[in-house]
Amino acid sequence: MTETVPSDPGEAPEPTSEERTAAKAVFGGRLDLARGFVGHLASSGIERGLLGPREVPRLWGRHVLNCAVVAELMSENASVVDVGSGAGLPGLAIAIARPDLQLQLVEPLDRRVIWLNEVVADLGLSNVSVHRARAEQVVGRVSGQYVTARAVSALSTLVGWTLPLVEPGGEVLAIKGRSAAEEIEKARKLIRKLGGGSAEIVSAGANVLAEPTTVVRIPLRSV
């Protein structure tokens, strides 16, 4: 049976004053779309097990804003592949913040793909397409100037899924936490084997977030 997102996705939890200021800076005139996305996460996203109910108070800061600020690392009109999109994090958050970008979301689980497609349709995100597949299954069919991922796997595994999808001159942007440096060290040999350049840790959202987002950036070496 096909699930449907209710026409009213639910009222988005209110951001704190600091989060509201950040959301205005990040989403601008598309803040209502961001609210709609948060509303979906807080209702059907929780109901379908894409996020735990304890995450509702942290949807703005820990999840949506944390992801959306990664868009500041991307050039205009770029193509982006989001691997393991799950609840649309970071893919949908980036797509809302940057309508100039073209997002392709890659997600293997059918129930998540159904939810993503319904949210995309409900919010009218014309710059997003969704692929039901594992990352390794779309090599040669899907590629982007940027390939993103968040909470998918350790970098030593993740680079095998993401680097093959990067277009020449592009890069992987993986959202990571405190273990970023350790993960880079463990993945260094594989990164080089797959054609990646020197991985570096960069911050996104330093001007708007109290805790900037930690991103591991891995360029694809020129052949």
User: Which residues, including other chains, have CB under 8 Å from residue 140's CB and lie 6 or more apart?
Assistant: none
pLDDT at 218 over 80: yes
Q: Does the residue 27 lie in any domain?
A: yes
Number of domains in the chain: 1
In a domain, 205, yes or no: yes
Domain assignment present for 6? no
Q: What is the mean pLDDT of residues 24-50?
A: 96
- Let me know if residue 9 belongs to a domain: no
**Tens digit of pLDDT for each residue in 5-30?**
334 456 778 899 999 999 999 999 99
Does some domain include residue 51?
Answer: yes
Q: What is the mean pLDDT of residues 96-115?
A: 97
Residue 4, pLDDT > 90, answer no
User: How much is the pLDDT for 151?
Assistant: 80
Within a domain: residue 4? no
Write out pLDDT tens, residues 160-194: 999 999 999 999 999 999 899 999 999 999 999 99
Looking at residue 6, its pLDDT comes to 38
pLDDT tens, 122-149? Answer: 999 999 999 999 999 999 999 999 999 9
CATH number of the domain enclosing 200: 3.40.50.150
Please determine, for residue 103, whether its predicted confidence score (pLDDT) is greater than 80: yes
Range of the domain at 150: 17-219
Examine the pLDDT at 100 and tell me if it is beyond 60: yes
Whether residue 176 lies inside any domain: the answer is yes
Residue 203 lies in a domain: yes
